[in-house]
Chain A
Amino acid sequence: MTDERPLLSAEGLTKWYGRQLGCRDVSFELYEGEVLAVVGESGSGKTTLLQLLSTQLEPSAGRVHYRMRDDVTRDLAALSDAERRFLFRTDWGYVHQEPTLGLRMAVSAGANVGERLMAVGARHYGRIRGTATSWLDRVEIDPGRIDETPRSYSGGMRQRLQIARNLVTEPRLVFMDEPTGGLDVSVQARLLDLLRGLVADLGLAAVIVTHDLAVARLLSHRIMVMKGGEMVESGLADQVLDDPREAYTQLLVSSILPP
């Protein structure tokens, strides 16, 4: 009933920083349209894992396979730099916790969004501006502020702009590192609702790193719990949260107010 091949698969992913363990022996599969939340405390290896998956770090052992747009599954380590850059510009998005890392702060909001479009070959200025305007609207930024740089934007607006910049090329997979991290609660709620809608409407697959179990419950289909660089438990989001099996997951779930 569900026989298509995974979009992304990780096998035995391991990373050592010298003698310091980043993460060890992580394996999983991600299918199109599926949202996986990786949860755990800081230092548990969540961000290392995200960087390994997105080829920003080279694993000490293990591999990552990705099914490209031409339906051919490739070992990411075997891609050329040009192919990897192309993936990053087109088929993938990467949303940083800190929006200044994912935006170009000195150019206008419109250019931040338009730049990704030009990277995939768009050349017609009017159309690029039109698409950028409609994306600003979609992430609830007043299109009247398209010519301002993100420096004049609030934290929540910057994060929404970063999301627009990432999604404008209609990627199939988005990596997010604590996307609601440094935001006020009310700003977080707005962003979460927006993300939830966009992920569902666009049928995106996503790997979301978060330490916030309420975020994981709201956005993800599946949850992977990490501790000390290892995966301690994984399963359906509501199963992991409502019926946690491992001692560490039980501790995490019981340490928070009910999401």
Chain B
Amino acid sequence: MDALRLSGAGKTFTMHLQGGIRLPVVADVNFAVESGQCVVLAGPSGAGKSSILKMIYGSYRCDQGEILVRHGNALVDITNAQPRQVLHLRRHLIGYVSQFLRVVPRVPALDVVAEALGRSGLAAGRARAADLLRRLNIPERLWSLPPATFSGGEQQRINIARGFLPELPILLLDEPTASLDAENRRAVVDLVAEKKRRGAAIVAIVHDEDVRNAIADRVVDVTRFAVAA
């Protein structure tokens, strides 16, 4: 049984400030991901890869089709879920590692990561956050500092740790290794492999060919969802 299935999903932006022009992004997106499997979305920039991840996460509205996720024994269609249902799904089902860390002023790196388990579990979260930060080679002297001043690669690793901390059945990764060196790319590959072994269904965007070959069970070419002009 699939953990995630997109059927005929499509998205068009209507730009009201530009005279209402319609900007089709993707149409008729069809693919499914099973538990323990990693699907990598491929295609040139602008093909709509990130948009597809955002449609699955609910940040972008979906205009056509359905996006079904398995939640226990039920199937939930993200495209018509109420906001609070989507929030519930994000807490219990779908994780997302965005391209860039959205930093919150004053919160130390360790807590930025640990908060992914919810503020009530902050103490327990910190131990596991520390473990992840170590594996991602973030020096311990940085843990108590807010990540706003960190380098791009350090911020990205904080973001990865935050996204990987909760054990969620579905994980969306938007270019998680874009600004990482070889050693840290390997660390991320290992983390992805562990998630798969624990049964997570993963959808990833990765440009690095080595990383892609190491994590992908299947590659989905996004250009086939392009809208005919």
Which residues of A are in contact with B by a Cβ distance under 8 Å? 1-2, 31, 34, 189-190, 192-193, 196-197, 200-201, 218, 221-222, 235-236, 238-239, 242-243, 245-247, 250-251, 254
Contact = CB atoms under 8 A, between A and B. Distances in A.
B60 interface: yes
The interface residues of chain A, by DSSP majority, are classed as: helix
A222 B59 CA distance: 12
Interface in B76-98: 76, 83-88
27 contacts: A1-B76, A1-B85, A2-B85, A2-B88, A190-B105, A190-B106, A193-B106, A196-B104, A197-B119, A200-B118, A201-B119, A221-B83, A221-B84, A221-B87, A222-B84, A236-B83, A236-B87, A239-B60, A239-B61, A242-B59, A242-B60, A243-B54, A243-B61, A245-B61, A247-B16, A250-B15, A251-B16
B119 A31 contact: no
A192 B58 CA distance: 25
A201 B105 CA distance: 18
B152 to A, nearest CB: 17
A236 B58 contact: yes
Contact of A222 (B14, B58, B76, B83): B83
B105 A236 contact: no
B16 A246 contact: yes
Interface string B43-80: 00000000000100011110000000001001010000
B59 to A, nearest CB: 5
A204 to B, nearest CB: 12
A34 B84 contact: yes
Given A201-B119, A242-B54, A236 B86 contact: yes
Given A31-B84, A250-B15, A250-B16, 16 more contacts: A1-B85, A1-B88, A2-B84, A2-B85, A193-B107, A221-B83, A235-B61, A236-B58, A236-B59, A236-B87, A239-B58, A239-B83, A242-B60, A243-B59, A243-B61, A250-B17
A192 B61 CA distance: 28
Nearest to B20: A247
Contacts of B61: 235, 239, 243, 245
Contacts of B85: 1-2
Interface residues of B, number: 26
Interface of B: 13-17, 54, 58-61, 71, 74, 76, 83-88, 104-107, 118-120
A243 B17 contact: no
A238 B96 CA distance: 13
Contacts of A235: 61, 83
A14 B88 CA distance: 31
A246 B74 CA distance: 33
Name the residue among A239, A246, A247 with the largest chain B CB count within 10 angstroms.
Answer: A239
Contacts of B16: 246-247, 250-251
A246 B84 CA distance: 21
A36 to B, nearest CB: 10
Contacts of B107: 193
Contacts of B87: 221, 236
Contacts of B106: 189-190, 193
Nearest to B13: A243
Contacts of A254: 17
A245 B14 CA distance: 7
A11 to B, nearest CB: 17
A201 B74 CA distance: 30
Contacts of B54: 242-243
Given A247-B17, A250-B15, A192 B105 contact: yes
